[in-house]
Structure 1
């Protein structure tokens, strides 16, 4: 069995690899990837492994970003110092969710779960309760207005009027009339969860676009897409070769 470790702390990655060699000698760690950038480069060149160990908070972002670029179907064991991502981890093909420092007994149990692929994740009680509440709600409600700041005022901006959301140290909303507002969110990951994915698409790590703001796009020889929006932007909107097919399907539905 071939495995990959995505972990930006070398000591932790080496310890995990050593633990695997002892408790699961049939697992061959192909490589250790220290960042999202390195992982994207690797998955662009090689086939998916049989097993993926994935830290969540990496030096250049949150590893869930990889699911925006690749259709990762291999089983995943998440390793993290934070329990706040357990629900999100459960929604992808997770085997387990191990909190750091990783206990060897927990790692053994995770590998046992991998054999069956039927054992449920060990989630905190409050997460299980939240999941049960979500299951009883048939329709997810997305934000219709967002709280923003402009000069010295707090402004409510209609979501339908937003053409582009981008990060430039802080998060900005660019309205269709060209006005710019500072979003009351700390990250694009956070704001993405409150937007309807039928209308908003995560173009890349720094930009989210509204489908109604797209005027046209052109591919280059590498397969990347360059978008022209109906509003003026200071930076071009670029979509990677890996994500281009997903964007085309989203646009042409």
Structure 2
């Protein structure tokens, strides 16, 4: 099988290449491309690719722009860090995807699916339009203020002043930059949906962290990471090995 990878993060493309070769050593990576421009240039010429793995956000734009400039008549599997709510649109538009960080078993299943389906099947214009509409929809404004209960009154709590959200004995709490704690009425999953992914990151099941609160990141055993925040948290904030690369990429973006 001959594959093209369109991904602007070197660590992500290297990891995908490693996983593909682990699953099937006969897979040939024809080209790794990191931009809309280079992808259009490559795909506009005759090539032998049978399958494309494509990230959504590239160095010079959104990968869906590639479909406006060149016809792609082979299957495409998108690799995306979008949340589960957004991924419903991929299912609705019948487009295959893998959620980052890519799991080897899920990748293996996707390859198996590719083998049993029509290898000549590309993505139709209406499918691309559906995903483009999704991107525009997700450009919505995010929550800037939470109304929280404090003693016998309700006060507005600015999102930019929240260092991190944590689950503490089943209760979600917002910890501010000046180290005050407020109980939240929402579930952590719901709060995550309301916040800008540029500013806040879900590091694990218990913590949703503001990038401005991160002091440093320390290596932990088995490839995990420990996130040190300010104000200091009395519980160690651990990022799993599977999510370590994604988290570091987010911090460095």
TM-score by length of 2: 0.50
